[in-house]
Amino acid sequence: MVRKASMKEQKIGASEVPILLVSLGLLIFSLSVNGQNMDDGFISIDCGQEKNYTDTATGLRYVSDFDGFVDTGETHKIPTDMEQYATNQQGYHLRSFPNGIRNCYRLLVDENKKYLIRASFMYGNYDQRNNPPQFDLYLNVDLWSSVDLRGRSKTHVFLEISVFASRNWMFVCVVNTGLGTPFVSSLELRPLKDDMYPLVTNNQSFVLFQRSNVQPIRNETLRYPTDIYDRFWIPYYSKSLETLSTESKIVQCTACLKYPAPMDVLKTCGAPIANGSDINITFQWPLNNITSRKIVYAFHYAEIQSLTTNQSRNFSFFKSFQDRSSGPFKFPKYLTATYLHKPTPVQVSIDFFYMTFRKTKNSTLPPLLSAMEIYEVKQTSKLISTGKEVEAMMEIKKSYKLEKNWQGDPCAPENLIWKGIKCRKFSIVSLNMSSNGLSGKIALSIRDLKQLENLDLSNNKLNGKIPHFLSDLESLKFLDVSRNNLNGDIPEGLKIKIEDGFLNIRFEGNPNLYKKSNKIVIIIPIVVITLVIIAITVIVVVIWKRKRKLYGRKRIIESKGRGSFRLPSFSSNNKILTYIDLINITNDFDKIIGQGGFGTVYHGTMNNGIQVAVKHLSVASSQGSKEFQMEAHLLTTIHHKNIVPLVGYCNEKDHLALVYEYMVGGNLKDHLSGSISSLTKICWRDRLRIALEVAEGLDYLHRGCKTTIIHRDIKTSNILLSEKLEAMIADFGLCKIFENNDAMTHMSTNVLGTPGYLDPEYRKTHKLKEKSDVYSFGIVLLELITGKPAVIKNADEDYILLAEWVDSIHAQGDILAIVDPKLNGEYDINSAGKALEIASACTPSLSIQRSSMHDIVTLLKECLEIEITCGTCKYISSDFMANYEDEMITGPTIR
Ligand SMILES: *[C@@H]1O[C@H](CO)[C@@H](O)[C@H](O)[C@H]1NC(C)=O
Ligand SMILES: *[C@@H]1O[C@H](CO)[C@@H](O)[C@H](O)[C@H]1NC(C)=O
Ligand SMILES: *[C@@H]1O[C@H](CO)[C@@H](O)[C@H](O)[C@H]1NC(C)=O
Ligand SMILES: *[C@@H]1O[C@H](CO)[C@@H](O)[C@H](O)[C@H]1NC(C)=O
Ligand SMILES: *[C@@H]1O[C@H](CO)[C@@H](O)[C@H](O)[C@H]1NC(C)=O
Ligand SMILES: *[C@@H]1O[C@H](CO)[C@@H](O)[C@H](O)[C@H]1NC(C)=O
Ligand SMILES: *[C@@H]1O[C@H](CO)[C@@H](O)[C@H](O)[C@H]1NC(C)=O
Ligand SMILES: *[C@@H]1O[C@H](CO)[C@@H](O)[C@H](O)[C@H]1NC(C)=O
Ligand SMILES: *[C@@H]1O[C@H](CO)[C@@H](O)[C@H](O)[C@H]1NC(C)=O
């Protein structure tokens, strides 16, 4: 009694005719499977059955649920004399869940695909209590259906839902509502085509209400392999209908692929007996207090009789018997199936839904109907834990073989949050595994609980060291590892946090833990912990900026001279990404946007929608790898408004990548050469501002970090522009950090850099100084003034350095001939003259004659002031003035 079973108290049938319901009886297994892989992706689980087997009726392989799908519950078999009432052999065994409120099966699926999931329940008095239970069935965190088996000992109940998988697993959970022990007899998962059921989306699903084959010849349910999606088509018979059938092939109309019906279902249909005019169908939902629901329907029909010239079949449809209006009419096409359907859900506010098909006046033949599908549309919840955290919790549970009743989504729904955890906004902020008999090392997966603030592992048998990764948990405020068997020292990263007051730790009762610093020992009675955490949060906010600034400087100094490079274990803005993350971010390295110093640069989008540029070192060359390390190291430790922000990095063995914020404005070189559209042509004042911003960035590198960083490759193609045309210095692959700023003023290196920008003194002497950057900056400034590249071809087709060209013209005193003609004279001649002076102060061949970046910044600010008071510029960003004034007072900001 499949249909009746799944719909509880419902009545289905013509209004005055007894309802005829049909049990599955024999399942058809007529065809051999011709496409070998038609059942690709099917998961068929016979719950509580310990053997795998091939189902004789369908030819489908059913597997036992003993390994992997579920880790709680007891297995049972219904008595042999009850087997006859089960629809199929999957009803014989079951898994019951006497312990815990929520128990879940976990099904692995493909993300962003649609699936049909069917669960069945055959009580069969398996527990000899004659007391069928009532419980709730959930898919992930949403109530799928209530399962009411009371009074239905001999009924095999099937429930079906079609869903969109927004993660690569799904939980099917039974929840004890206090009315008996929940159980499951079988679980089936069938992939659907992407274009099927378009209303099944990431925020709504279809719960099957009814799927019927109208008036088939044989009283049997059709499913796989007749229906390649293994949907059940239950016979629907009515006394007022007669069966029409054909042996001819019926095709689905080309626009009808969203609700496909199998051909064998379409080959038979029902029509009113004795040339009656109507097909009346009533659907009644179970009586409950739900007053409103959204449904979706598809009524399938096809003309299966060959009509003579004086015959016609036309019919209208009405959603109520009383409706007499002549609605739009339909006529079925010969041997072509189509369906009646409304592309938006229909709101139904009563327990009944009627459908009448009535022949039109001029039609000689009555309506016909092959099949019908009715679904209730349910919203799916977005309020679920992040996938990474769920995975992490599953791993933790597995690695410690926890008997805890941790099932389904950790943080949702609210009344079923896992024991020992606390959540905020569906993220785990507290994990208490105190006194759980944990043994082995501290689980690595804890590192994926990024929002964790409170971790209690006390009073277990944990051994090994306190792992480094705990210092990556930026929010961690309280860590209790006391009364274990840990050894070694407390990791450096944690010590710093403890000293800085970000973290409280308890570690007493670990005899082998090395205690070096008595500063660290901060033991706080559990009673006041909560208060302290609140206090710390407040304090952290207050001291955050100051601490962080100092911290950044400390790190740079620390990592100097260590030789080997280590990514900073603590950096507030940067994310460690995996190669898989990179694939997701870049859509599988889909869009190349450039060729960087040591790899290809791809466009990408982070989960939060931020556009990024991903610089990927594809082949592990030693030089490239060195440059990568340098750049990663630098950008994770320095922050300035004119240095391109690093969003994250990937440091896996064969995949090194840096992820920066994507600079929508492109690079300065393209702007100046005019290869970027004229709309964003930069005016004189923008050019001065960009020069100032680059200068400020460089000044910060040279002085701002208490250690001198030399970029070594300043050029217009390494200056990127944000949406508002703010300049950002990029590409730190060649950069050098001075060992000790006080003792040394230069270092000897291999000469690296770009022709045209290369400091002549450095080229000669191989002695690198910060003034080398000043020279390169001077060239950039000249490019901004002249609009010409760093190396130009003169009239004689000779290559000549821009600096030399400018000198030669300047010697003749002709400023107007130097300034970029593309500016159309829209600049203040005084500020242009001053800018040229500044450039000259940068480009003497002797470094000692060059100004420092700090002086250049001051000069450029003055120069810009002249222009701001006199010139006009339509491209200047509106909030620039405000920023500019800020800068004058505070100097470079450290983010
Ligand atoms: C179809 O079969 C079921 C049981 O197998 C029976 O209850 C029902 O009356 C049958 N219907 C018809 C129309 O034969
Ligand atoms: C059943 O099949 C699954 C995979 O199809 C396999 O992992 C499992 O070991 C099998 N179980 C038995 C009892 O053969
Ligand atoms: C469901 O998601 C779609 C986009 O996928 C959106 O357009 C629609 O408004 C959402 N509906 C609801 C009820 O949230
Ligand atoms: C139904 O009507 C058609 C013509 O309209 C006729 O040929 C046929 O015999 C009628 N069938 C019955 C059962 O009255
Ligand atoms: C419907 O609501 C009434 C009162 O609000 C309650 O007494 C009754 O049990 C409810 N029925 C169902 C089926 O929930
Ligand atoms: C339909 O037309 C055929 C001839 O084309 C005729 O023999 C038949 O009687 C007609 N039937 C009806 C119901 O008019
Ligand atoms: C369908 O319902 C209408 C209106 O109640 C009634 O007149 C008609 O006889 C019904 N037809 C059938 C076949 O039940
Ligand atoms: C029905 O047929 C009559 C004549 O046979 C015609 O005048 C009328 O327009 C037709 N009605 C429709 C809705 O086609
Ligand atoms: C009925 O359907 C036929 C096609 O089968 C069409 O040619 C005819 O115009 C329709 N007549 C009426 C009255 O709707």
Ligand 9, atom 3, lies closest to the CA of 312
Confidence at residue 751, expressed as pLDDT on a 0 to 100 scale: 66
CATH tag, 387-516: 3.80.10.10
- For 404-410, what is the mean pLDDT? 80
Q: Per residue in 313-341, pLDDT tens?
A: 988 887 765 555 556 677 888 999 999 88
Query: Looking at 6-20, 23-37, 256-270, which range is the least confident one?
Result: 6-20
- At 809-841, the pLDDT tens digits run 887 777 788 888 888 888 888 888 889 889 989
User: Homologous superfamily of 668-888 in CATH?
Assistant: Transferase(Phosphotransferase) domain 1 (1.10.510.10)
Residues in contact with ligand 7 by the CB-under-6-Å rule are: 14-16, 240, 272, 276, 278, 280, 321
Task: Measure 810 CA to ligand 8 centroid, in angstroms.
Answer: 94
Q: 136 with 143: CB under 8 angstroms? A: yes
If DSSP codes are grouped into helix, strand and coil, which group holds residue 658?
strand
From the alpha carbon of 204, which atom of ligand 3 is closest? 1
Predicted local distance difference test score (pLDDT) of residue 39 = 78
Q: Which ligand minimizes its atom distance to the CA of 218?
A: 1
Candidate from 19, 24, 28, 219 with most ligand 1 atoms within 8 A of CB, to mutate: 219
CA distance 356 to 281: 6
pLDDT at 826: 83
Write the pLDDT tens digit of every residue in 513-530.
Answer: 875 444 444 444 444 455
Q: What is the pLDDT of residues 231-269, one digit of tens each?
A: 999 999 999 999 999 999 998 888 888 999 999 999 999
Q: Which residues are annotated as a binding site for ATP?
A: 615
Predicted local confidence at residue 678, as pLDDT? 47
- How many whole angstroms from 360 Cα to the centroid of ligand 8? 10
- The percentage of residues in the chain with a pLDDT greater than 90, rounded to a whole number, is 34
Q: Over 50: is that where the pLDDT of 716 sits? A: yes
Residue nearest to atom 13 of ligand 4 (CA): 274
- Which helix (H) or strand (E) covers residue 144, if one does? strand 142-148
Residue 68 has pLDDT above 90, yes or no: no
Region 722-733 average pLDDT: 85
Ligand 1: residue of 2, 22, 87, 234 to mutate (most ligand atoms within 8 A of CB) is 22
Strand partners, 728: 720
Mean of all residue pLDDT scores within the chain: 80
Task: Say if ligand 2 is within 6 A of residue 346 CB.
Answer: no
**Which CATH number is 575-661 given?**
3.30.200.20
CA–centroid distance, 310 to ligand 6, in Å, is 6
> Considering the entire predicted model, what is its pTM?
0.59
- In tens, the pLDDT along 346-390 reads 888 777 778 888 888 888 999 999 999 999 999 998 767 777 888
* Weakest mean pLDDT among 203-212, 419-428, 555-564: 555-564
Pairing of strands 439-440, 461-465: parallel
- Mean pLDDT on 628-653: 82
Q: Where are the domains of the chain?
A: 2-379, 387-516, 575-661, 668-888
**Residues 6 or more apart from 291 whose CB is under 8 A from it?**
349, 350
The pLDDT-based confidence of 442 (bands split at 50, 70, 90) is very high
**Greater pLDDT, 881 or 770:** 770
Residues with a CB atom less than 6 Å from ligand 4: 274-275, 364
pLDDT for residue 739: 52
Looking at residue 234, its pLDDT comes to 96
Is the pLDDT at 66 greater than 60, yes or no? yes
Give the catalytic positions in this structure: 713
How much is the pLDDT for 415?
80
**What pLDDT, in 10s, does the model give residues 74-121?**
999 999 999 999 999 999 999 999 988 999 999 999 999 999 999 999
Residue 868 pLDDT more than 80?
no
| Among the listed residues 213, 222, 372, 230, the one whose alpha carbon sits nearest the alpha carbon of residue 296 | 372
Query: From CA 723, how far away is CA 694, in angstroms rounded?
Result: 16
* 2-379 shares its CATH topology with 387-516: no
Band of residue 676 on the pLDDT scale cut at 50, 70, 90:
low
Lowest model confidence (mean pLDDT) among 554-558, 631-635, 784-788: 554-558
Give yes or no for residue 64 CB within 6 A of ligand 2.
yes
| Residues 879/843, Cβ–Cβ less than 8 Å | no
pLDDT bin (cut points 50, 70, 90) of residue 684 is: confident
Q: Please name which ligand lies nearest the alpha carbon of 330.
A: 9
Q: Is the pLDDT of residue 559 over 50?
A: no
Q: Which atom of ligand 4 is nearest to the CA of 365?
A: 5
- Region 385-413: mean pLDDT is 82
Name the H helices within 638-750: 668-673, 684-699
- CATH T-level fold of 2-379: Jelly Rolls (2.60.120)
* CA 214 to ligand 1 centroid distance, Å: 14
Residue 59 vs residue 416, higher pLDDT: 59
Q: Rounded to a whole number, what is the largest CA-CA distance in the chain?
A: 112
CA 535 – CA 526 distance, rounded (Å):
15
CA 303–ligand 7 middle distance (angstroms): 22
Average pLDDT over residues 680-686: 78
- The β-bridge relationship of strands 156-164 and 329-330 is unpaired
